[in-house]
Amino acid sequence: AQSVTQPDIHITVSEGASLELRCNYSYGATPYLFWYVQSPGQGLQLLLKYFSGDTLVQGIKGFEAEFKRSQSSFNLRKPSVHWSDAAEYFCAVGVGTGNMLTFGGGTRLMVKP
Amino acid sequence: GAVVSQHPSRVICKSGTSVKIECRSLDFQATTMFWYRQFPKKSLMLMATSNEGSKATYEQGVEKDKFLINHASLTLSTLTVTSAHPEDSSFYICSARDISGIGETQYFGPGTRLLVL
């Protein structure tokens, strides 16, 4: 069965600093890959997704992610973090018929002034 | 972009009552919707897959008689928590699968906070 690991439960960065959130997956083939963001008490908003093609994908709010097959990773990056980026970030893989999603445990991002 | 709504956003009910939560895809049709449950500071747990015009598929350990799902149209799925108890208090999130364009993507609703007293 597929699994998703987000090694960092919490990350704190200074506003304006760069950010990288790690995501590793376990699956026999290339899955669909997603990053979602969740603000407190809210649903999930799709940041970006990878299905095929260019392994560097651009998303909303200045985020990007790179699929590295050799490392089974799909890390999320942003060159300069804003205070409004503080939230919970979930990596997910979609597999099989129906593209069922398996979520990582999430990474809580805190931004300090 | 694809928008999914949920109603209500918050509900407080007495133990033993039933609560219905609606999930709507506002600008696309969704033959498949999903219901998740999220505990505080935890990730999402898939409860069931809701298929338009057919019975829902429940994940292991989820009581189908407790959590009734109806997907009567291409834009609406409902989750009814029957005879709710305090342990059912949680954050319930739905998603709708958009199959237009390249690949398939789940878009999530804003969630419903259920508190059972």
* pLDDT tens per residue, range B67-104: 999 998 999 999 999 999 999 999 999 999 987 766 67
B44 touches chain A (CB under 8 A): yes
pLDDT at B113 over 80: yes
Distance CA A11, CA A57 (A): 22
Residue A88, H or E segment: strand A87-95
CA distance A45 to chain B (A): 7
CA distance B16 to chain A (A): 25
> Is A98 in contact with B103 (Cβ distance < 8 A)?
no
What mean pLDDT, rounded, does chain B reach?
Answer: 92
pLDDT at A1 over 80: no
Residue with tokens 């008689």: B65
The predicted model gives A57-86 an average pLDDT of 96
Nearest to B43 among A51, A94, A105 (CB): A105
Nearest to A32 among B43, B103, B110 (CB): B103
Which tokens hold the place of B60? 């292991």
**What are residue A60's phi and psi, to 5 degrees?**
-85, 165
Please enumerate residues of A whose Cβ is less than 8 A from a Cβ of B. Answer: 32, 34, 36, 41-46, 49, 51, 90, 94, 98-101, 103-106
Residue of B nearest to A47 (CA): B107
pLDDT value at position B110? 95
* pLDDT tens per residue, range A6-20: 999 999 999 999 999
Read out DSSP for B53-116? TS--EEPTT--TTTEEEEEEETTEEEEEE-S--GGG-EEEEEEEEE-SSSS-EEEE---EEEEE
Nearest to A101 among B6, B106, B109 (CB): B106
> Is B103 in contact with A49 (Cβ distance < 8 A)?
yes
* pLDDT tens per residue, range A29-62: 778 999 999 998 889 999 999 988 899 999 999 9
CB A111 within 8 A of CB A85: yes
pLDDT at A95 over 80: no
CA distance A70 to chain B (A): 22
Nearest to A43 among B34, B103, B109 (CB): B109
